[in-house]
Amino acid sequence: MVSPVEVMAPPRTYFSPDYATARSRFRLATQQADGRLSSLALAPAGPGGDDLTIDVAWLGAHTPKRALIHSSGVHGVEAFAGSAIQVRWLVEGNRKLPRDTAIILVHVLNPYGMAWLRRVNEHNVDLNRNFLGTNDDYAGAPDGYLALDPFLNPTSPPAFELFYIHACWLILRHGMSALRQTVAGGQYVNPRGLFFGGTALEDGPRAVQRYVEQRLRGVERLVAVDVHTGLGSFGEDTILVAADEDHHTFTRMRDAFGDRVRPTDPERGPAYRVRGSCDAMYARMFPTADVCAVTQEFGTCNAIRVLKALRAENRWQHHGDNRLDHPTKLALKECFAPDSESWRTAVLERGCAVVSQALRVLGGGQHDGPIPDARP
């Protein structure tokens, strides 16, 4: 177990080196914050044969009318940032809440991906394409994905090739916005391919849905923040809302979170529309509640480099020996959790600030003063 002194160490130590350390720190910080911890066990094992769990810290009312859900790691290797934010908030945040309010921290929704340095789970499923509704089919792909499949998903181990030249040619041919939507929107046709959404609801998402649905019966207002990395400018965060700019939901979120709010429209921002994202489940589960769900996305490096790293690691996973210290694994981690003090500082400051902003949207709880504008 990690000592209290280590948890209270300088900001850089909130960023854990691996899944096991992150989980230990989160559990200890939850205990020290007098939170109630639940661990949702999953079948796969970590690199050392250790168990993998989705851990949930619950603070505040047992049966809340208002609730904030803060989630990390639906894309496993992206979890380092969200985990650090959650641990820091548990250690340093102001946790005074009204009697009818709860904060739920969902720590590493995809523990397999974090432990094995993958963005996907043990079935190669991108869990942020897996949360489809009961009437939705796990089928199809964006127009043009199949034509790009040979480039995106080579059936051979990583090797030297003219990746950047080919990628730039595709951008010139299709345009960056259209290509981004085609590649990353979510596909259900190639189980070994990038951005595969699965064939049914995976165990992790099912466990989280069941937990939230059972524990939040009667909730009247719900705010959800899901933390991601890899999209946008280095060290800067974007608040993504799945609504058009002229929609009242977008306007409400812009008023609450400021000018960082952008729509998931590839023509109007850095993101793209996604099928089966985890934030979409809340409105389905609580149709009579006032639900506001946003994605906090921290930029790292340019999109072409990110795609190159995802593609190479996926090739190694399916056509190599899955060694954890392989360069493709290390490159993927660097793309989604850069070893940069300025980046980590910005993530911690802005991540905890957004928790405070979310509490304001929720209409309850105290915050720690002005929202900082931390940039490297």
Q: What whole-number distance in Å separates Cα of residue 85 and Cα of residue 1?
A: 19
What value does the mean pLDDT take over residues 7-34? 86
Work out the pLDDT band at 11, boundaries 50, 70, 90. low
Q: What whole-number distance in Å separates Cα of residue 131 and Cα of residue 53?
A: 19
pLDDT of residue 59: 97
pLDDT of residue 363: 83
Tens-place pLDDT, residues 295-310? 999 999 999 999 999 9
What value does the mean pLDDT take over residues 331-349? 97
Q: What whole-number distance in Å separates Cα of residue 213 and Cα of residue 368?
A: 30
Q: What whole-number distance in Å separates Cα of residue 23 and Cα of residue 1?
A: 10
7 to 178, 342, 355: CA distances (angstroms):
44, 20, 19
Tens-place pLDDT, residues 39-93? 999 999 999 999 999 999 999 999 999 999 999 999 999 999 999 999 999 999 8
Q: What whole-number distance in Å separates Cα of residue 331 and Cα of residue 305?
A: 10
Q: Would the pLDDT of 207 be above 80?
A: yes
What value does the mean pLDDT take over residues 365-376? 36
Q: Would the pLDDT of 5 be above 80?
A: no
Work out the pLDDT band at 12, boundaries 50, 70, 90. low
Q: Would the pLDDT of 2 be above 50?
A: no
β-bridge mates for residue 102, sequence order: 60, 67
What pTM did the predictor assign? 0.92
- Mean confidence (pLDDT) of the chain: 91
Percent of the chain with pLDDT over 70: 93
Tens-place pLDDT, residues 158-201? 988 999 999 999 999 999 999 999 999 999 999 999 999 999 99
pLDDT of residue 172: 94
Q: Which CATH class is domain 4-362?
A: alpha beta
